[in-house]
Chains A and B, each alone.
Chain A
Amino acid sequence: MLMQDRKGLLLLLLLFALLMSQSAVVAEDSLVVVMGSDSDVERLTLEQVVHIFLGRFRRLPNGLTATPIDRPQDQSLMTDFYQLLVGKSPAEIRSYWSRLIFSGKTAPPRQAESGQEVVRWLAETPGAIAYMRPDECPPQLRVVLRLGP
C-alpha cells in the first residue's frame, strides 16, 4: 500500500509538472473542440469530451452517438489536445487503444487525414466531434468546448 501511495504521489507530482508545462504551452496554443453547426449541441463539458474521445460514453446529450475524430497527421495538435484533455502523450493514448482494439467493443476515434477531412466529416456526420486550433476553426463549426487558456 505504501508503495502504491508513493507511486500515486509520484504520479500526482508528475501530473502536476506536466500540467504546469502544458499551461505554458497552452498559453499560446489553446484548442477548441468543435462540432458541426447543425448539431444541436451547444456546449460540452471537459468530462463529456474525455468520455467521447476515450470511448467511455459516446452518447451526446441530444441522444446521438458521438463520433470523435483524431488528427494523427498533425502530431503536435494531437499531442497538445491529449495533453490538455487528459495529460497524456499520444503514445500513451495509442497504448490505451491498443488494449481495447482486441475486444473490439469500442473503437478509437476516426483518423482524419487532414484538416479539410475533419471539417468535412464534421459536416456530413451527425454527432461528429473534433478538435483544432482556434485560428483554423471555420465559422460553420460550433465550438462546444475551449481547451487551454
Chain B
Amino acid sequence: MRARWHQSILIRAGLALLALLLLFGAITVGINLSYNQARAEQTTEERLSQLLDTVESTASIACFTQDEILAQELIAGLLRNSEVLSVAVEADDQPLASLNRGANEGTLAEASSTPILVREIYSPFSPQMRVGRILLTPNQALIKANLQRETRIAMLQTALQTLLAMLAFAAAILMLIIRPITAISDRLHRMNAAEGERIPIPAGHQGSEIGLLVQDVNRLADRLVETLEEERRLRIQHAVDEQRYHAIFNNAETGLFIIDERGYLSSWNPAFARLMEFPPEAETLAQRSLFELAWSEQGRFTELLLGCIDADQSRSAELGYRLKDDSQRWLSMVLTPIADESIQGVIYDVTQHLEAERSAKRSAVTDRATGLANQLGLEQQAKELAQACDLHEGGGFALVLLNLDNFTRISEGLDPAASNAILQEAAKRLCSNVKGSDLVARISECQFALLLAEIQRALDVEHIMERALHALQQPLVVASSTVKLQVSEGIALYPQDTDANITTLIQHANLALSHGGSGQLRRMRFFNPGLARLAEDRYRLETALHQAIELDQFVLFYQPIVDIGQGRLVGAEALIRWKHPQRGLVPPDSFIPLAEETGFINEMGLWVLEQAGHQLAAWKRAGLERYLSVNVSAHQIPSQLTPEYLEDLAQRLSFEPSRLGLEITEGVLIGDVGEVQTWLEAVRDRGFLVYLDDFGTGYSSLSYLKRFRVDRLKIDKSFIRDLSNDLSDQALVQAVMSIAHSFELEVIAEGVEDPRQVRLLRDMGCRYAQGYVFSPPVAIEAFTEVSERIPKLFDAIAMETSP
C-alpha cells in the first residue's frame, strides 16, 4: 500500500520545511530590507558628506568672496556625482549659486520630500565667521533604485538557497526514510511470518531508528507467531475437550439440562429426555417449559426454581414426577444459576433410593417382632403430639409405659418364636383396647408404651388402662401351655408431668412404672412430683455414695458371734456403716439396695474385704483366732469377686483364708448354676469359708444345699424372733438344725435377743449365735471391750438356766 501523495512524509515534511523557510526568508529579507535601507541612507549621507568635505575649502573661498562663478564651478563638480540631485550655495544667507541635475518632474517632486544635506561654510581666515552654506539634495530615486536592486538580489539568493535546501532535504528524506520504509512496507506485505520470514534491515540502517524499528517489528512478528501457535494449540485442546464433554453430556446417566428463568429448555441430554419420558423426536420439538411437565406437585418445582433465582445459588429438591403409566418417579433436581440468566439443572432418578430410605426410616422406628413403633418411633410420635398440643392450647396426651413383669421368666423356657407370639398377642390386645389414633409401641424387650391422644384427666386414662390391663392379663395359650402375663404400668401426662420435654415425660413415666411395680395390687401408677423428688433424692444419695470411699465415710462395725456351747467369742460379722456428714449414720437398708442397683456394690464389697482382711491380720498378729465374715452380694459373684483376688488378698495382708467367711444369700444360687458352683468350689478350695445367709427366707431348697457346698448356715432372724413363744418356729429351727447336721453344716442363729433364745438354741444343738443379747454391731474400738464382756455375760445367761 502506498501512501497517498498528500499524506506522504516527503510532501508533508517538504511543505513544513517550505513554510518554515519562506517564513525565515521573509523575515530575513524584511530585516535586510530595513537594515539595508538605513545603511544605504547612512552611507549615502557619509559619502555625500565626504563629497562636501572635498569642496569645503573652495566653497569657503567662494562664499568669502561671494564668487558665483567659483560657486557654480564647485556645484558642477558636485553634480558629477550621480547621487547628487541638486546643490545650492548661499553666501551670507543670500543665494550665491544653485544647480539642478537636468532632471524630470518626478525626481524634482520626489526631491522636495527628501532631506537636504546642509554644510555650514566658514571664512578661510576666521574659523568663527560663517560666510555661507551648501545645500545638497541627494538623488533619492537613484538611491532607492539601488536599494531595490540589492534587495532583489538578496531575495533571489535566499530563494535559491531555500530551493537548494529543500532539494537536499527531500533527497535526504527520500533516501534515508521513505525508501527504507517503503521497502519495509513492501516486504511486510509479502512476508509470511508463520514460515519464519522476517524483514531484513535496510542497508546502512543497522543501529538507526529504522533498523531498531525493523528489529521491533520482527520481534513482534515472533511473538505474534508464538501467540498464534499457542492459540491454535488451545483451540485444538478446546475442541478435544468439547468433544469429550459432549460425550459425557450425551452418555451421562444423569439428566442434564439448561433452562431460562421462565423454565424454558434450551438444551438437554438424552438421559434427561429419558427420565422425563420425552418422545424420541423431542429434539426437534419447539421449546418447552419445565412448568408444563407432569410434576406431582407443581408448586415444589416452582418453589425450587424461584428459590434458585432469588438466592442466586444452587438449590436442590426431590420432586415427584408422574409417568405415563401413572406411577410416580422421584427425581432429585439440582438447579444452579449460570451466566446469561440461565440455569443449569442436574436431575437423577432417586425413586429406589428414596424408597429404600423410607423403608429404612420405617424400620428404624419399627419394632421387628410386633410391627409396632419402637422407642424411636414413640419419641417421634410423642414429639409430634406435643407440638400439636402446644399449638392447640388445652390439648394433652398420656404416655403409658407397660412392663410385662414376668415376661423374661416366661420366655426363658420358650423358643423365640413362642416369645414373639406372646408379644404379638399382647400387642393385638393392646391395640384392640385403644383408639385407632393412639400409638402402641414396643420400646424394649418387655416394655410396651401407649400414646393416648386427647386426654384431659387422669381418670380418662385410668378407664382405658383398666380395660387394657384386664385384656392383657387374660390367660393366653402359647406352645400348648397357658401363660398369664403380669403387667405393671407407669403413666405420665402431657403437658402436666413434664417441662415440655419428651425425654423428661418418658423418664417420668418410667419413674411411675418403677414405683408402681413395688405394690403388688396396684400395678397402675401415675407420675407425681413426689416421684421425681424421690428420684432426685436417690440420685443425690447415689452421687454421695460414690464419693463415700474417697471421703472415707464408710466404717466397718463388728457384731460378735459367740459359741453358745462353750460360752466364748469365736468371731464377728463385719457390717458396713456409712457415716454421712449431713445424714448421720445411714442405715444399710437405705444404701445397700441402691449400691446393688448401680453396681457400686462391687467397689464397696472390695473395700469391706480389704478392711476385714486388715482386721483378720491384726487379730492374727495379736494371737487371736477369730473368724470374720463379710456379706457378698449376688452381683459380685462370680466375676467381680474372683477366688484369685481373695487368695491374693489373704496373701497380701497375710491372714488365714479359713478365718474369712463369705456370707452369700440364697439368691446367689438362683443365678447361673454352673458358674456359681464353680466359684463356690474355687473359693472353698482356697480355704475360705462360705456362709449361707438368711437361710429360710428365700427359695430355700434342700436341693441347693446338696448342689452347692457351703460351710455354715445362718438362720434368719425372723425365725428366731418369736422362737421362745412360737412352737412352729421352734419346729422349723429344729428341722433346720437336723438338716444342717445331716449335711455336716454348722449353724449360726441371727438376731438372738434374749437369754431364753440362747438357751433354746443351745438345747436344739445350735452352736453359734449372734445378736443383741451379746452385743449390737460395734466399732472396732469398742469390740475389745465387748469381747471381754462376753464370757461374763454368758455366765449370767447360763446362771438364769440353773434355777
Question: Which residues of chain B (91-150) have a CB below 8 Å from chain A?
Answer: 124-127
Distance in angstroms from A11 CB to nearest chain B CB is 7
Assess whether B231 is interfacial by the CB under 8 Å rule.
Answer: no
Distance in angstroms from A32 CB to nearest chain B CB is 20
Contact A104–B61 (Cβ < 8 Å): no
- Which one of A12, A99, A100, A103 contacts B127 once the chains associate, using CB atoms below 8 Å? A12
Contact A102–B70 (Cβ < 8 Å): yes
Complex Cα spacing A96 to B62, Å: 10
- Which one of A8, A50, A106 contacts B67 once the chains associate, using CB atoms below 8 Å? A106
Q: How many A-B contacts are there with CB distance less than 8 Å?
A: 42
Most buried by B among A12, A86, A88, A100: A100
Contact A56–B69 (Cβ < 8 Å): no
Question: Which residues of chain A (73-107) have a CB below 8 Å from chain B?
Answer: 86-88, 96, 99-100, 102-106
Q: How large is the interface on A (under 10, 10 to 19, 20 to 34, 35 or more residues)?
A: 10 to 19
Q: Give 1 or 0 for each of B60-83: 1 = CB within 8 Å of chain A CB.
A: 010011111110010000000000
Contact B65–A55 (Cβ < 8 Å): yes
Assess whether A54 is interfacial by the CB under 8 Å rule.
Answer: yes
Complex Cα spacing A99 to B61, Å: 8
Contacting residues, chain B, for A104 (C-beta < 8 A)? 69
**Nearest chain B residue, comparing its CB with the CB of A3:** B53
**Nearest chain B residue, comparing its CB with the CB of A85:** B125
Complex Cα spacing A99 to B58, Å: 8
Complex Cα spacing A86 to B64, Å: 14
**Nearest chain B residue, comparing its CB with the CB of A15:** B127
Q: How large is the interface on B (under 10, 10 to 19, 20 to 34, 35 or more residues)?
A: 10 to 19
Complex Cα spacing A86 to B73, Å: 26
Contacting residues, chain B, for A11 (C-beta < 8 A)? 127
Contacting residues, chain A, for B53 (C-beta < 8 A)? 4
Question: Which residues of chain B (234-271) have a CB below 8 Å from chain A?
Answer: none
Contacting residues, chain B, for A87 (C-beta < 8 A)? 125
Contact B124–A100 (Cβ < 8 Å): no
Contact A103–B70 (Cβ < 8 Å): yes
Contacting residues, chain B, for A12 (C-beta < 8 A)? 127
Contact A105–B65 (Cβ < 8 Å): yes
Question: Which residues of chain A (105-127) have a CB below 8 Å from chain B?
Answer: 105-106
Question: Known: A8-B127, A88-B125, A96-B124. Contact between A56 and B70, CB under 8 A?
Answer: no
Question: Which residues of chain B (259-289) have a CB below 8 Å from chain A?
Answer: none
Contact B67–A105 (Cβ < 8 Å): yes
Complex Cα spacing A142 to B67, Å: 31
**Nearest chain A residue, comparing its CB with the CB of B57:** A99
Question: Known: A86-B125, A103-B67. Contact between A96 and B61, CB under 8 A?
Answer: yes
Complex Cα spacing A50 to B125, Å: 9
Contact A105–B69 (Cβ < 8 Å): yes
Distance in angstroms from B90 CB to nearest chain A CB is 15
Q: Give 1 or 0 for each of B289-325: 1 = CB within 8 Å of chain A CB.
A: 0000000000000000000000000000000000000
Complex Cα spacing A50 to B67, Å: 17
Contacting residues, chain B, for A4 (C-beta < 8 A)? 53
Contacting residues, chain B, for A103 (C-beta < 8 A)? 67-70, 73
Distance in angstroms from B393 CB to nearest chain A CB is 137
Complex Cα spacing A88 to B124, Å: 10
Contact B64–A56 (Cβ < 8 Å): yes
Contact B125–A100 (Cβ < 8 Å): no
Contacting residues, chain B, for A106 (C-beta < 8 A)? 65, 67
Complex Cα spacing A54 to B64, Å: 9
**Nearest chain B residue, comparing its CB with the CB of A88:** B125
Distance in angstroms from A105 CB to nearest chain B CB is 5
- Which one of A54, A96, A102 contacts B73 once the chains associate, using CB atoms below 8 Å? A102
**Nearest chain B residue, comparing its CB with the CB of A1:** B49
Distance in angstroms from B631 CB to nearest chain A CB is 161
Complex Cα spacing A55 to B58, Å: 15
Contacting residues, chain A, for B127 (C-beta < 8 A)? 8, 11-12
Most buried by B among A8, A56, A105: A56
Complex Cα spacing A88 to B126, Å: 11
Contacting residues, chain B, for A86 (C-beta < 8 A)? 125-126
Question: Which residues of chain A (38-96) have a CB below 8 Å from chain B?
Answer: 50, 54-56, 86-88, 96
Contact B66–A102 (Cβ < 8 Å): no
Complex Cα spacing A87 to B124, Å: 11
Distance in angstroms from A98 CB to nearest chain B CB is 10
Complex Cα spacing A4 to B127, Å: 13
Contacting residues, chain B, for A96 (C-beta < 8 A)? 61, 124
Complex Cα spacing A102 to B53, Å: 21
- Which one of B58, B66, B68, B73 contacts A56 once the chains associate, using CB atoms below 8 Å? B66
Distance in angstroms from B134 CB to nearest chain A CB is 15
Contacting residues, chain A, for B61 (C-beta < 8 A)? 96, 99-100
Contacting residues, chain A, for B68 (C-beta < 8 A)? 103, 105
Complex Cα spacing A142 to B471, Å: 209
Distance in angstroms from A103 CB to nearest chain B CB is 3
Contacting residues, chain B, for A100 (C-beta < 8 A)? 61, 65, 67, 70
Most buried by A among B64, B65, B70: B65
Most buried by A among B67, B69, B125, B126: B125
Distance in angstroms from A6 CB to nearest chain B CB is 13
Q: Give 1 or 0 for each of A1-18: 1 = CB within 8 Å of chain B CB.
A: 000100010011000000
Complex Cα spacing A12 to B128, Å: 11
Contacting residues, chain A, for B70 (C-beta < 8 A)? 99-100, 102-103, 105
Distance in angstroms from B738 CB to nearest chain A CB is 187
**Nearest chain B residue, comparing its CB with the CB of A92:** B124
**Nearest chain A residue, comparing its CB with the CB of B122:** A8
**Nearest chain A residue, comparing its CB with the CB of B61:** A99
Complex Cα spacing A96 to B70, Å: 12
Complex Cα spacing A100 to B126, Å: 18
Complex Cα spacing A104 to B68, Å: 10
Complex Cα spacing A120 to B69, Å: 34
Complex Cα spacing A102 to B58, Å: 12
Complex Cα spacing A56 to B131, Å: 10
**Nearest chain B residue, comparing its CB with the CB of A54:** B125
Distance in angstroms from A95 CB to nearest chain B CB is 10
Contacting residues, chain A, for B66 (C-beta < 8 A)? 56
Complex Cα spacing A87 to B125, Å: 8
- Which one of A8, A56, A88 contacts B65 once the chains associate, using CB atoms below 8 Å? A56
**Nearest chain B residue, comparing its CB with the CB of A11:** B127
Distance in angstroms from B656 CB to nearest chain A CB is 165
**Nearest chain B residue, comparing its CB with the CB of A12:** B127
Contacting residues, chain B, for A105 (C-beta < 8 A)? 65, 67-70
Complex Cα spacing A39 to B240, Å: 153
Distance in angstroms from A130 CB to nearest chain B CB is 19
Most buried by A among B66, B67, B126: B67
Most buried by B among A4, A55, A103, A106: A103
Contacting residues, chain B, for A88 (C-beta < 8 A)? 125
Distance in angstroms from B400 CB to nearest chain A CB is 152
Distance in angstroms from A119 CB to nearest chain B CB is 27
Contacting residues, chain A, for B73 (C-beta < 8 A)? 102-103
**Nearest chain B residue, comparing its CB with the CB of A86:** B125
Residues of B within 8 A of A (CB): 53, 58, 61, 64-70, 73, 124-127
Interchain residue pairs A-B with the least CB separation, the first 7: A103-B69, A86-B125, A103-B70, A106-B65, A103-B67, A105-B67, A55-B65
30 contacts between A and B (CB under 8 A): A11-B127, A50-B125, A54-B64, A54-B125, A56-B64, A56-B65, A86-B125, A86-B126, A87-B125, A88-B125, A96-B61, A96-B124, A99-B58, A99-B61, A99-B70, A100-B61, A100-B67, A100-B70, A102-B69, A102-B70, A102-B73, A103-B67, A103-B68, A103-B70, A104-B69, A105-B65, A105-B67, A105-B68, A105-B69, A106-B65
What 14 additional pairs, Cβ within 8 angstroms, besides A103-B69, A103-B70, A106-B67? A8-B127, A12-B127, A54-B65, A56-B64, A86-B125, A87-B125, A88-B125, A100-B61, A100-B70, A102-B70, A104-B69, A105-B67, A105-B69, A105-B70
Residues of A within 8 A of B (CB): 4, 8, 11-12, 50, 54-56, 86-88, 96, 99-100, 102-106
